[in-house]
Chains A and B, each alone.
Chain A
Amino acid sequence: MRTKLFAILIVAAALLLTSCGQATTPTAAPTAAPTAAPTQAPAAEPTATTAPATTGVVLPAVDPAQVTGDIISAGSSTVFPLSERMAERFRDEGYSGNITIDSVGTGGGFERFCVNGETDISNASRAIKDDELAACRAINREPVAFHIGTDGIAVVVSKENTFLTDVTMEQLAAIFSSSATNWSDVNPDWPDEPILRFSPGTDSGTFDFFVEKVLNKDKNLILNAANLQLSEDDNVLVQGVEGSPYAIGYFGYAYYQENANRLNVLSINGIAPTAETVEGGTYPLARPLYLYTTAQIMREKPQVAAFINFYLTYVNEEISSVGYFPLSNDALDASRQAWLDAMGQ
């Protein structure tokens, strides 16, 4: 009796072992497959991208593998993800130097570019200001701008917010001003609850742009408002707005796109931010994105010229996935022409 049981157990164990053995053999195959696949992919990629998809101004071809030397850039946190993406692609295609991209806000970027003169490229989410231009000239830097794309500022509320889907510019100004404390102060139909405001920090280009467009350049209005949270960290804003039905905030459209399942975006004057409305300029909170450098830097540091060339050639292939809106061919051609002019070609 006992020996029989023992035999059954042994058979069962043997079956288990063989089944395990069988199970392990198929797993060997998948582990081999992925290792083989990536080695082929990078080799195939450059051939696919060598032909620029442009019809107008064509820049001289760049081979990133031939480019040496480091590139230092700093500036807008809005341009940052796009530049990061372009730098990644530049590296993928063979560039072996270092590209530094610091996300310090547009103003901070110009401070480093124009006052300290320590960066090669300044990323900006607005055009350079007169005083910044003067500072640049004071250190013999004559900035050249390259328009690379367009960003829409998304005005967002929580998914729990039931009363707001569209605002007029006037209402938006009132919501972000010290004159209103509760929602009902702006529109009697809205709840009698305090407005919880979330805004990018005062150093960011997004803040500057919002104040200029919505508040008529008067930042006292927003900075005197109650229940205002300011942060350079957009995640702080996303989290804050998401947390209450009475919260409202704004930031670059890319951040909204990343968090579209957590937030609702408002239309402004009945116009929602889409590629058409932003590029066509009907969406009121659209703004240009720029790279700034100087012709002298481009000539002295060929890697900077090469990177900007590469940027202008392929930016429209990457920009949508980063969350911004591509430029029309004409606008991009103007930037490419600026590159040619700067290089004296």
Chain B
Amino acid sequence: MQERATAAMTTLAGAATVKPTGRQIDLRKRRRPGESAIQGFLFLCAALSIGTTLSIVYVLGRESLLFFSDPAVNLCKFLTTTRWQPTIGEFGILPLANATLMTSAIAMAVALPLGLGVAIYLSEYASVRARSILKPALEVLAGIPTIVYGYFALTFMTPLLRAILGRDVVEVYNTASAGLVMGILILPLVTSMSEDALSAVPRSLREAAYGVGATKLETALQVVLPAALSGITAAGVVAVSRAVGETMIVAIAAGAGPAFTFNPFRAAETMTGHIVRISGGDLSYNSIDYNSLFAIGLLLFLITFALNIISRQVVRRFREVYE
């Protein structure tokens, strides 16, 4: 407040000095303390977010280093063996990673085709009225807390699967139900990103297609879709990283014990689910169990980081620029 007042005073004073002498208007760069304060503040905001990311990487790295430097752990075994039971010194990440992969794959199998379908409908076919109903409905889907989805999986999806496929085939906790519900969770994300990409395709392309006699479907699938491919691929990659990092649904519905299985109807614990369960109990800070959580966290981080880099590359590589 005071700063602004003094700034106003200097401009006033400046104006006062200009008038009586009748000299040329001074065009030299004038100092504006308010301006530079705001610039500084904005820079601080940016620096803060980068600083947070860096310190997360630092903490993850430091604690993981403690874990990997433990004589009981060996990186090769960590990445290749199939038993994870830190309490008795079994550190093979594969069962957890495998479960994460399975739930994510199932989720993508639901979300990608469905999301793309909805996006094509919304951008190419839907009337204004249908859009005005569908879009907010999808946004509501995105706003549901994931814990609600978790219990939806456990109390609705799992009984449904068990009723269809038989109680002996489907266990109470299973990766299929968690994956299916996770697909519903990331559906709005896929839809809105793909729809943005489709809508960004210039109208002239569609009109050209109609001009050479293409039907609406041909236009959508053979002209608009390829043109928007980079954006759609990016949507897919972002959705995968969302699925890999999703926690609450798998913690509730997928299972509470690491198991190396490719059967989606069996219980298996994902990386995020394991972190939640173990840290939800009580852990000694200086135990190897505790440090192992950071190693899992680091691996998760590396996976999503790699996916982000891939998505950037994809966007750049397949980008088609019109005008």
Residues of chain A touching chain B, judged by Cβ–Cβ distance below 8 Å, are 104-105, 107-108, 111, 193, 196, 201-204, 219-220, 223-224, 226-233, 236, 239-240, 242-244, 247
Contact = CB atoms under 8 A, between A and B. Distances in A.
A105 B277 CA distance: 13
Interface string B168-195: 1001110000000000000000000000
A244 B167 contact: yes
Given A193-B168, A229-B257, A244-B168, 14 more contacts: A105-B282, A107-B284, A201-B281, A203-B283, A204-B281, A228-B257, A229-B267, A232-B280, A232-B281, A236-B256, A240-B267, A242-B172, A243-B167, A243-B172
What 4 pairs between A and B have smallest CB-CB spacing? A108-B282, A243-B172, A104-B282, A203-B281
B88 interface: yes
B229 to A, nearest CB: 42
Given A196-B171, A229-B257, A230-B256, A224 B88 contact: yes
Contacts of A202: 87, 281
B85 interface: yes
Contacts of B259: 226-228
Given A201-B277, A224-B83, A224-B88, A107 B282 contact: yes
A232 to B, nearest CB: 4
A240 B87 contact: no
Given A203-B282, A230-B257, A236-B256, A223 B267 contact: no
A105 B279 CA distance: 12
B282 A111 contact: yes
Interface string B60-91: 00000000000000000000000101011010
Interface string B243-277: 00000000000011101000000110000000001
Interface residues of B, number: 24
B167 A108 contact: no
Contacts of A193: 168
15 contacts: A111-B282, A196-B171, A201-B278, A219-B87, A223-B85, A224-B85, A226-B259, A227-B257, A230-B256, A231-B256, A231-B277, A232-B280, A239-B172, A240-B173, A244-B168
B281 A244 contact: no
A111, A193, A239, A243: which has the most chain B beta carbons within 10 Å?
A243
A221 B154 CA distance: 29
B257, B278, B283: which has the most chain A beta carbons within 10 Å?
B257
A193, A229, A230: which has the most chain B beta carbons within 10 Å?
A229
A107 B289 CA distance: 14
A229 B255 contact: yes
Interface of B: 83, 85, 87-88, 90, 154, 167-168, 171-173, 255-257, 259, 266-267, 277-278, 280-284
Given A227-B259, A230-B257, A240-B173, A111 B88 contact: no
A222 B10 CA distance: 79
Contact of B88 (A107, A220, A231, A244): A220
A230 B277 contact: yes
Contacts of B281: 104-105, 108, 201-204, 232
Contacts of B277: 201, 230-232
Nearest to B252: A236
Contacts of A203: 281-283
B77 to A, nearest CB: 16
Contacts of B267: 227, 229, 240
A204 B281 CA distance: 8
Contacts of B85: 223-224
Contacts of A240: 172-173, 256, 267
A239 B282 CA distance: 22
A287 B280 CA distance: 24
Nearest to B277: A231
Contacts of A232: 277, 280-281
A247 B277 CA distance: 21
A187 B167 CA distance: 23
A29 B173 CA distance: 50
A226, A230, A244: which has the most chain B beta carbons within 10 Å?
A230
A209 to B, nearest CB: 15
Contacts of B154: 239
A107 B267 CA distance: 28
B171 A243 contact: yes
A223 B282 contact: no
A174 B256 CA distance: 21
A129 to B, nearest CB: 13
A104 B279 CA distance: 11
A243 to B, nearest CB: 3
B76 to A, nearest CB: 21
Contacts of A229: 173, 255-257, 267
Contacts of B173: 229, 240
Contacts of B167: 243-244
A209 B314 CA distance: 55
B88, B266, B282, B284: which has the most chain A beta carbons within 10 Å?
B282
A243 B154 CA distance: 11
Contacts of A247: 172
A280 B280 CA distance: 35
B172 A244 contact: yes
A245 to B, nearest CB: 8
